[in-house]
Chain A
Amino acid sequence: MNYITIDSKRVPIEGEKNVLSLIRKIGIDLPTFCYHSELSIYGACRMCVVEDERGNIFASCSEQPRPGMVIYTNTKRVQAYRKMIIELLLSSHCRDCTTCQKNGSCSLQELAFRVGVHAVRFLNNKKQLPLDMSSPSIVRDPNKCILCGDCVRTCDEIQAVGAIDFAYRGSETQVMPAFNKTLAETDCVGCGQCAVVCPTAAISVRTNVTQVWNAIDDPNVRVVAQIAPAVRIAVGDSFNIAKGENSFGKLVAALRFMGFDSIYDTSFAADLTVMEESKELAERLEKNEKLPLFTSCCPGWVKFCESRYPEFASNVSTCRSPQGMFSPLLKEYFKEKDAEEGKKTIVVSIMPCTAKKGEILRPDNFTDGKQDTDYVLTTQEIIRMIKQVGIRFDQLEEEAADMPFAVASGGGKIFGTTGGVTEAVLRRLATDKNYKNLEEISYIGVRGEDTLKEASVMLGDREVKIAVVHGLAATAKLLDRIKANEVSYDFVEVMACRRGCIMGGGQPPFAGARTRKSRMEGIYKVDTSSNIRYPDENPVLIQMYDTMLKGKEHKLFHRNMQH
């Protein structure tokens, strides 16, 4: 076995690519700004420096472990260096922590505390730059950027969008879109993955908390909430609840306490999506046209397709996303009541997603020319609201969502992870709705973290070829291969975020491998503990299709394609 010695401990090398991983393996949380296991190594922040036995200093994130190495992670020298590096960063950073979006969850703030910077000896003479508020999803505050490049690499390497990059050089360097345009003028899809990796408030999620509080305060407004599948297994992260645990019931209770009038489960609408999308797939398969059918429930992907692969735009399902189906349905549902009570219904959807904030503004998602969803709050924003009120979330009694939209199948709930939509559609299309079949579908190969998963099923006598892909870079690669006729599929599920919505841009960040795993497991646990597993067995839905929804499916559930 090969060993290296870290702070006098012998540590076996087990395929680790860098010294940093070995240091972390033995439980030392070495500070870093620019290292992310999923991104290329950049080596810019120099926080991870360590010293070897000869007094050489090097960055552990970019050093290969060599057997016999002897390193020290906390000598006086490296401590002093880290401290100076933070002091230098702070010296050109606008330090209004108390009023900062990132207050309390900021790596810079945390590390400044950890390494013990108590004074900054340099004057901040950097020019204050304006914020970019053009995107409905994220806000850029260049004054808080420490140039770690995490966002740039994420947007490029993981998302293949490349909306932002470095500009200029030296101490003039900034991260910005080309020609310092606003994000709205770029191909940014609003996935918020840059905000997830950003250690500071230089890129943060655009928040709608104030508007929602105002609506709640308004007696003439009925505030209706819908909660997306992925939210329930991440919201507990910030409240001492075991990772991946389903906190739906507690969240409902919290929302009621805060003053939301009605609370529903978006999974219900996910069942609707499954119904509509399956129908669409069946039709296209029959006519053998516009295949593959691409899923449409991820607005990040839809936008990416439109800007980068317009040739596939008509292959994307015309279905709205679950959020997009649910809101007009809710407004339809409350229409009469609103008239009676002289109220106005406002739909607030609680989502893991920042792109959804943009989706609701798209005219093709409007019904009768009007915006359906009024506000999108991300998981993080709802956490902030819960904290504002001071609710002891972990001690809440679970409550149920409001009827009639509290019923949802397990199929609708697994939408929150990659492969979920596909699995739900397959359940819908399965002719034999028994338990064994459920199991079989789950093993078909659409679950798991691989960026591209392929499967095929027989529908009648036709083989349906399926691909499930997540992360837009992986998607782009796949599309290029489809374009080149190297592969062909009938159905392709695309989620812009790696691993799907459980890792959406609005979820609590700092999700390491363990968190990611437990979120995914959490989602599937929600499914197995559901009474109904097949979307088409949702009784409320079946009934509604026959009554209230009759003839309105197209208007309410499909995108308005003339836009």
Chain B
Amino acid sequence: MMLNTREDLRLYRTQSQNKMKKEDCRILICAGTGCLAGGSAKIYESLKKMSAEIEGVSLEFGPEAAHVGVHQSGCHGFCEMGPLVRIEPWNYLYIKVKEEDCEEIFQKTILKGEPVERLMYQQEGKVYPQQETIPFYAKQTRLVLKNCGHINAEDIEEYIACGGYEALEKVLFDMTGSDVIEEILKSNLRGRGGGGFQTGYKWKQVARQPELTRYVVCNGDEGDPGAFMDRSVMEGDPHKMLEGMIIAGYAVGAQEGYIYVRAEYPLAIKRLKIAIKQAEEAGLLGDNILGSGHSFRLHINRGAGAFVCGEGSALTASIEGERGMPRTKPPRTVEQGLFAKPTVLNNVETYANVPLIIKNGADWYLTIGTQGSPGTKAFALTGSVKNTGLIEVPMGTSLREIVFEIGGGIKNDAEFKAVQIGGPSGGCLVTRDLDVNLDFDSLKKLGAMIGSGGLVVMDEGTCMVEVARFFMNFTQNESCGKCVPCREGTKRMLEVLERIVAGNGTLEDLSLLEELGDVISATALCGLGKSAALPVLSTLKNFHEEYVEHVEEKKCKTANCQAMRTYIINPDLCKGCSKCARNCPVDAISGQIKEVYTIDSLKCIKCGACLDNCPFNAIYIAG
């Protein structure tokens, strides 16, 4: 179906809405990466089969012949509880559904509208039937992620029915390019890719360039390990992002756009391809969109395994077929970006905000979040919290709310220790920061950054030195190798950290880390290097005593650092079976059969084989 005019689109929207309304019962089976991995495809198949047999049949719960719609949705952000099944109109959310559960779901809920309580989320003994009441969701403000999990991501009709492409329509027919830019400027939308740069300002600069060939590029590289909000948008509501990009193209006068998606997201690539094809077929992408005269085409580029390609100039180099090495600026991307043409480069989530702003107006947008950072932000909440997942909250929400209300507190009721925010380029926030507002500026003041939005919660059992080593290992691995401070400096910092966790560090090493960190942060060429030392510097600052303990006492309180562990046999539990001794590669364990065995800690190489093998769990580790 080709929509040639604004009226066509409006008519189509009404039709789609009616079609959706006709469904008295919508079954949404999550088909995000996580739930698919949990077997949601089979659940979809069986619920579809069961429902197909009753299509058009008058059912007990409806006054008229009812329709049951069975759809695959995108990720709800609650993947740990997956596979998820949402059933409307009751908004029941069933978690950890198995194929065997389908029959019961069908018999009880679909046919009778009754809940299946055992499949519902429970917290502290309380059952939460509706998705919206689950604490994890109740405290969120889902704007960008609103459709994720609620519509079929592979069907443009559903997006349009939910008000999709309304903003595009408004832009094409009621606004000029500069009106759009002004509106975005006014909304003070700041880039969600990490830097928090004003989007409207970026667009304005591109629109101003004398060169008329311009590009719109979407950064879907999302390399931050432990973050997946962009993936969810691309998989769960791809059209929202496309709409944002088409609007950006209109605003800056670009006719071509590129989406750079990391190769680790095959499902996102698939859904984007489908979305682009459907949008093209609908006349919402391509030549003369809706008869407005504006044309825009989109290409997808797959990443090839380089985190640094998230950096703007490395990303454009990669699309051009080059090594993804950042280059010096100027010229900046807005002047000479992709193919040396003026280029708008924004993050997935940034684009997904655009239709909301256009549709509801900048004034509305400014009422959400904080003054300096309006709107919402999606975070990937992982680590030692009870509820992990993808959340969306107004900017300025405190860490405490996120960790203890949405996240449900620390897993196993352990003590909160820190949150790593912004991944390998970020820093850690500690107990005293729990009430800080999470927004661009407040975090900057703390020497941390929102970054892409990864939030890794760590409890008392986490060794911060080891965490710093982990991030440094990541950055060192991902350094492009171009500039000396990052290429050589991160390597040396990693060496020092490895030395420390191996129990061979010295106090001088701590000042060497600070010195290296300072040089790299100050002199590196691109953001990767400039922020590479942040996790180390921030843990050094906040957990100095932990570092000192590692180097002075050769002790790791948390027993995370393998080399500093002591393996001990609990004499009360040991049955003298000798299994441990037989498994020890260095003969560090001795004893007599049926008597208590002992470990010679000087001989022990901390391999852990004894602990793994003891049938009576008699062996434990001391820090």
Contact = CB atoms under 8 A, between A and B. Distances in A.
A–B touching in complex (CB under 8 Å)? yes
Contact of B487 (A63, A121, A171): A171
Contact of B525 (A46, A81, A147): A46
A169 B484 contact: no
Contacts of B519: 80-81, 84-85
A170 interface: yes
Interface string A136-154: 0000000000110100000
13 contacts: A43-B327, A46-B523, A61-B328, A81-B523, A84-B516, A85-B484, A88-B484, A91-B488, A92-B488, A147-B484, A147-B487, A166-B481, A170-B479
Nearest to A57: B522
Contact of A169 (B306, B515, B516): B306
B57 interface: no
B485 A88 contact: yes
B489 interface: yes
Nearest to A59: B328
Contacts of B327: 43
A171 B480 CA distance: 8
B476 interface: yes
Interface in B505-554: 512, 515-516, 519, 522-525
A64 B336 CA distance: 15
Closest 6 CB pairs of A and B: A43-B328, A62-B328, A173-B481, A88-B488, A170-B481, A170-B479
Nearest to B323: A166
Interface centre among A80, A92, A170 (most CB of B within 10 A): A170
Interface in A79-135: 80-81, 84-85, 88-89, 91-92, 121-122
A548 interface: no
A44 B522 contact: no
A348 interface: no
A45 interface: yes
Contacts of A334: none
B10 interface: no
A79 B350 CA distance: 40
Contact of B484 (A45, A62, A121, A170): A45
A226 to B, nearest CB: 44
A92 B524 CA distance: 18
Given A46-B523, A64-B330, A172 B481 contact: yes
A63 B329 CA distance: 7
B487 A170 contact: yes
Given A62-B328, A84-B485, A169-B481, 15 more contacts: A43-B327, A43-B483, A45-B483, A46-B523, A57-B523, A80-B519, A81-B485, A81-B519, A88-B489, A92-B488, A92-B491, A122-B492, A147-B482, A147-B484, A169-B480
Contact of B488 (A57, A168, A171, A172): A171
Interface residues of A, number: 34
A552 to B, nearest CB: 53
A147 B486 CA distance: 13
A232 to B, nearest CB: 39
Contacts of B484: 44-46, 85, 88-89, 146-147
Interface string A53-73: 000010101111000000000
B495 interface: yes
A42 B328 contact: yes
A85 B323 contact: no
B241 to A, nearest CB: 29
A145 to B, nearest CB: 12
A122 B495 contact: yes
A171 B476 contact: yes
Contacts of A171: 476, 479, 481, 487-488, 490-491
A62 B525 CA distance: 10
Contacts of B524: 46
B516 to A, nearest CB: 7
Interface residues of B, number: 31
Interface centre among B329, B480, B483, B524 (most CB of A within 10 A): B483
Interface in B148-168: none
Contacts of A59: 328, 523, 525
A63 B481 CA distance: 21
Interface centre among A41, A45, A46, A173 (most CB of B within 10 A): A46
B133 interface: no
A9 interface: no
B485 to A, nearest CB: 6
Nearest to A41: B328
Contacts of B306: 169
A186 B523 CA distance: 36
A520 interface: no
Nearest to B324: A169
B225 to A, nearest CB: 16
B489 to A, nearest CB: 6
B483 A44 contact: yes
Interface in B269-316: 306
B478 interface: yes
Interface string A504-516: 0000000000000
Contacts of B492: 88, 91, 122
A147 B479 CA distance: 14
B477 interface: yes
Contacts of B323: 166, 169
Contacts of A41: 328
B488 A44 contact: no
A122 B519 CA distance: 15
Contacts of A81: 485, 519, 522-523
B481 A121 contact: no
A122 B491 CA distance: 10
Contacts of B485: 46, 81, 84-85, 88
Contacts of B489: 84, 88
A446 interface: no
Contacts of A62: 328-330
A62 B332 CA distance: 12
Contacts of B488: 88-89, 91-92, 171
A503 to B, nearest CB: 27
A61 B477 CA distance: 27
Contacts of A335: none
A89 B327 CA distance: 20
B215 to A, nearest CB: 21
Contact of B480 (A49, A61, A170): A170
A43 B331 CA distance: 13
A84 B524 CA distance: 12
Contacts of B476: 170-171
A481 interface: no
Interface in A406-427: none
B495 to A, nearest CB: 7
A308 interface: no
Nearest to B330: A64
Contacts of A80: 519
Contact of A43 (B481, B490, B525): B525
Contacts of A92: 488, 491
Contact of B483 (A46, A57, A63, A91): A46
B486 to A, nearest CB: 9
A166 B477 CA distance: 17
B477 A170 contact: yes
B328 A77 contact: no
A179 B613 CA distance: 46
Interface string A164-196: 001011111100000000000000000000000
A42 B524 CA distance: 13
A545 to B, nearest CB: 55
A171 B327 CA distance: 18
Interface in A313-344: none
A147 B516 contact: no
A113 to B, nearest CB: 18
A43 B524 CA distance: 10
A169 B492 CA distance: 16
Contacts of B522: 49, 57, 77, 81
A61 B329 CA distance: 11
Nearest to A61: B328
